[in-house]
């Protein structure tokens, strides 16, 4: 099953899953206990905006399946995330008008059948789910590519234009995502080039690895 994606430490049971792998709609506490041993993080990408009164989107999952995603939280689609869970995401997330190509990761979610017969994901004011729901400003493809980059990440400077090839004993690291650099100048040129857009995504991948990596 190639849809199980390896995380940084090549976990053979990566928790990133498609819709088909999620628990069903009738999810009771007994199932919830099972999920703790076998966590599932739903990964999808925004494919179209269907918002009318509340945020709603067409999404595609890892299998390329078209699904419906609706946000039924209080606060008109702005959710407050507890900061204690991690240190890399802003306390507030807006689910309003997310652009096509935005990636979403949600832990503790299950399949949902909407009243009109559509299948998909319903995000509501359940704190465990809300706290784990992440909006990532990249496509799923970019997310998976960054994951691969992280897997190769060694003990050399991360700036592509860096001329220092030696393995460094004392690396500077990005305070948020721990990406290594040989110097402040490499860090700042890499920040301007691409790291600004990638930093929080890498930090999230590191969080996934800490939580679920083996």
Q: Which residues pair with 71 in a beta bridge?
A: 123
- Which residue number, 84 or 163, has a Cβ lying nearer to Zn ion? 163
Instruction: Find the shortest distance in angstroms from Cβ 152 to Zn ion.
Output: 16
CB of 202 to Zn ion, least distance (A): 6
Q: Which residues make Cβ contacts (< 8 Å) with residue 76, sequence separation at least 6?
A: 54, 96
Question: How many Å apart are CA 180 and CA 144, to the nearest integer?
Answer: 20
- Our CB check for Zn ion shows the closer of 49 and 156 to be 156
What is the C-alpha separation between 69 and 165, in angstroms, rounded?
A: 46
Query: Smallest distance, Å, CB 207 to Zn ion?
Result: 13
Look at strands 56-61 and 41-49 and give their pairing.
antiparallel
For residue 188, the tally of other CB atoms under 10 A from its CB is: 13
The distance of closest approach from Cβ of residue 190 to Zn ion in the complex, given in angstroms and rounded to an integer, is 8
Q: Considering beta carbons, is residue 135 or 171 the nearer one to Zn ion?
A: 171
Q: Mapping DSSP to helix (H, G, I), strand (E, B) and coil, where does residue 41 land?
A: strand
Cβ proximity to Zn ion: between 47 and 168 the closer is 168
Residues near Zn ion (CB under 5 A): 157, 159, 162, 164, 174, 176-177, 179, 182, 186, 199
């Amino acid at each position: 099953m190639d849809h199980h994606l390896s995380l940084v430490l090549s976990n053979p049971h990566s928790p990133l899953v498609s819709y088909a792998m999620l628990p069903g709609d009738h999810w009771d506490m007994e199932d919830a206990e099972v999920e703790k041993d076998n966590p599932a993080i739903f990964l999808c990408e925004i494919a179209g905006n269907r918002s009318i009164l509340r945020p709603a989107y067409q999404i595609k999952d890892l299998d390329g399946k078209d699904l419906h995603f609706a946000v039924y939280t209080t606060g008109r689609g702005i959710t407050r995330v507890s900061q204690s869970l991690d240190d890399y995401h802003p306390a507030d997330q807006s689910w309003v008008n997310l652009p096509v190509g935005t990636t979403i990761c949600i832990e503790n979610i299950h399949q949902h059948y909407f009243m009109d017969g559509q299948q998909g994901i319903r995000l509501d004011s359940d704190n465990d789910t809300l706290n784990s729901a992440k909006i990532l400003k990249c496509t799923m493809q970019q997310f998976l590519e960054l994951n691969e980059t992280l897997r190769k990440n060694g003990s050399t400077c991360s700036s592509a234009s860096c001329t220092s090839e030696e393995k460094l004993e004392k690396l500077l690291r990005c305070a948020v995502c721990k990406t290594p650099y040989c110097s402040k100048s490499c860090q700042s040129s890499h920040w301007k080039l691409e790291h600004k857009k990638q930093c929080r995504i890498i930090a999230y991948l590191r969080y996934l690895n800490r939580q679920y990596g083996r």
